Structure 1
Amino acid sequence: MTKRMTYLAVPMLASALALAACGETADTTEPADAEMTEAVEANTVVDVAKGNPDFSTLVAAVEAAQLGETLSGTGPFTVFAPNNAAFEKLPAGTVDGLLKPESQAQLTGLLTYHVVAGKTDAAALAKAITDGNGKAELTTVNGGKLTASMDGENVVLTDAGGNTSTVTATDVEASNGVIHVIDTVVMPAAAE
């Protein structure tokens, strides 16, 4: 990567994630030029999350669960990434409890429930929902299921307990997958 591309990578990723954090769709599926493509491809899903302060809780959780290396691997991964506001919706003390070393297995299960193997961009997800007569079942990395459906123009995820989360930004590209920002933490079934 040239120095110019390295200097471009940080501002471009920050801009894309800033749009995502504001609830806007960060359309990075068609970069403006080859330099932008190379800059985006130089960063894994973990790098992209680390580059945005609105994902600081998610990054802390990934580090506490020791999943950073795994999620920086080849992938590809589709990550439904809760922003800080999503984690703030959890009952008081939940995040602090999950970040404790003795909760690592539970935290790992929770985080891997937000990851689907393969790269599923917004268009492919919408097509799967249409092809499934309004619903698409997604198998997460932890083996649990999420159900995707549409509410108007928004994709909504339903977790194992019937709780919902809305996708607020789509197609934040990374070298090893794609990130879709969600407004609520989805929860696996207790046994998952």
Structure 2
Amino acid sequence: MPNFMFPSFRLPEFQFDQADDILSKINMRQMEIQEKIAKLKEELKDKFGDLPKPTEPPVEPPQNIVEIASGSDDFNLLVKALSAADLVETVQGLDDVTVFAPTDAAFKQLAVDLGYTGDTSDEDAVFAAIVDALTELGDGDPIPLLTDVLLYHVAPTAKTAAEIDAADTITTLLDGATFSTEGSELIDNEPDIDNPNIVAADIEASNGVIQGIDRVLLPIDIPGNTPEPPTELGSLTQIVAASGGEFDTDNTDFDLLLNAVQAADLAGALDNPDADLTVFAPNDAAFIGLAQTLGYEGKAEDEAFAFIVEALTNLSDDGNPIPLLTDILLYHVAPRRLDEDAVLSSDTIETLLGSELGVDGAALVDADPDVANPNIITTNIAASNGIAHVIDGVLLPIDLMTSDVSDTDMMASDVDSFVFSGSDKPGFDLASDVSQIDLSSVETALQGIQDIFFNEADFLF
């Protein structure tokens, strides 16, 4: 390959001289600036002395307990109470203490517990109600009792929430008064009002620690506020019997169910105090609906009940409706207590009859596919020996409609039992008992016979 030589270049001498001159001027200018800075520093030092070095901003000292409470919107009523009892300076002057500080919500609840029924958002009205109550309890002067209540909220040593939890009792500044602890709960001397709990723990102050609590600690058992004893629960039979059992126009209660239970002699079983049962209780509307499904056209409770009894009589081999009625009722009872959640989360439910119910949402699936399944409409009616749920239909443990007259396998005896009310009784006279004929069933039966005839005719020809 040929060799190529790049030509060399050299600045003219006069250009080197110019560059040296520029650099020299720059250096001289830098020296002049540094001299002026040094001179300025000397002038400032002569005039002001040595300048202070930058320091961290000063740390604010912690506030005392009263200052923290006064600066918070959660302790307005506590500060108001301290002022009324002339304890502000006293608490400010304390050292290394624990103040169990009730929130405004705690004072509002105390007012309600003492009988206040006004607007709890009105803090002045709430405080006035508390003062009125303390005035009555203090024989006309609320301040001594208010002072005792407030001193009962101060422990003489600073304690964390963990230390309070570990303690058996807490000594207070109220002479001879203590309270016990259980976790975050503070157990005071008032047994009829809920105990306070620590809800805002370990708020540090310059003179101790604040433990925010959700109720006011009470050093006395306030007279006259003992709650009424809880009403004793009735048994399952008593719940049903509360309807009275007299047939009326109220189809939301259990008159028909009560009559059915009594007829089947099951009242004692549902009254057993040692039982723990679940009753799916059809209301009167449910029984009327069953009667109408079986052919009853009215709405009266007494007539509907009589119609159902007669239908069960006709379905019984020996003309006795009680065994079938008993089976139906036992099909409504589960042998253990099942609340709403337990029922709705089940796939099947065992019954005292031995057969199972299906569960489909709020519907209970029984053994009759031709009648709409009952739905649970009211839940969790507590009883002393179980629980009841109201349903809007009667649960059927057999397929009552197996003798549907449209069934081509229907026997003549089945037609007779559904068409003629009482036709299986000796001495039945069609002419004299024509009023007992269910004409709609006759029409349906004839249509079924006609269908059979034409089906056979098609087969033959």
Relative contact order (alpha carbons < 8 A, sep ≥ 6): 1 or 2 greater?
1
Structure 1 length-normalised TM: 0.68
The yes-or-no answer on 1:104 pairing with 2:148 is no
Q: Quick one: distance in 1 between partners of 2:98 and 2:61?
A: 19
Q: By how many angstroms is 1:169 displaced? A: 1.0
Q: How far apart are residue 183 of structure 1 and its match?
A: 0.4
CA apart distance, 1:127? 3.1
| SS in structure 2 at match of 1:72 | helix
Partner of 2:166: 127
Q: How far 1:96 moved relative to its partner? A: 3.5
Counterpart in the other structure of 2:90: 70
Q: Which runs of 5+ in 2 are unaligned?
A: 1-56, 117-127, 223-461
Render the CA deviation track for 1:117-138: whole Å, top value 9, x for unaligned. 011112322333xxxxxxx111
Give the Cα separation in 1 of the matches to 2:94 and 2:200.
Answer: 23
Residue 176 (structure 1) aligned to one of 207, 213, 234? 207
Q: Report percent identity of matched pairs.
A: 35
Judged with a 3 Å threshold, the aligned counterparts in structure 2 of structure 1 residues 158 and 127 are, in CA distance, closer, same or farther, namely closer
Superposed displacement of residue 140, structure 1: 1.0
SS of aligned partner of 1:165: coil
- The structure with more strand, counted as a fraction of residues: 1
Separation in 1, partners of 2:80, 2:90: 15
Of 150, 164, 173, 2:195 maps to 164
Aligned alpha-carbon RMSD (Å): 2.6
Distance 2:69 2:219 in 1: 22
Is the 8 Å Cα contact of residues 64 and 99 (structure 1) preserved in structure 2? no
Does residue 117 of structure 1 match 2:150? no
Cα distance in 2 for partners of 1:190, 1:70 equals 26
Whole-Å separation in 2 of the counterparts to 1:166 and 1:147? 12
Which residue identity is paired with 1:112? L
Question: Aligned partners of 1:74, 1:103: CA distance in 2, in Å?
Answer: 24
Q: Distance in 1 between matches of 2:133 and 2:200?
A: 26
Deviation of 1:141 after TM superposition, in Å, equals 0.6
The runs of 5 or more residues in structure 1 that have no matched partner are 6-34, 129-135
- Aligned structure 1 segments of 4 or more residues deviating by more than 6 angstroms: 98-101
* Alpha-carbon offset, residue 98 of structure 1: 6.6
Map of 1:142 onto structure 2: 174
- Give 1:122's aligned amino acid: A
- Cα offset for 1:99? 8.3
* 8 A contact 1:137–1:146 mirrored in 2: yes
Q: 1:158–1:188: structure 2 CA closer, same or farther, 3 Å change rule?
A: same
What amino acid does structure 2 have at the position aligned with 1:116?
Answer: A
Secondary structure of the corresponding residue to residue 171 of structure 1: strand
CA distance in 2 between counterparts of 1:123 and 1:147 reads 14
Q: Structure 1 139/74 Cα, relative in aligned 2: closer, same or farther at 3 Å?
A: closer
Counterpart of 1:59, as a letter, is V
TM-score by length of 2: 0.30
- CA distance in structure 2 between the partners assigned to 1:118 and 1:63 by the alignment: 23
Tell me the residue number matched to 2:425: none
Structure 1, residues 7-26: CA drift from partner, whole Å, max 9, x if none? Answer: xxxxxxxxxxxxxxxxxxxx
Which structure would you say has the larger Rg?
Answer: 2
* Cα distance, 1:63–1:99 mapped onto 2, change above 3 Å: farther
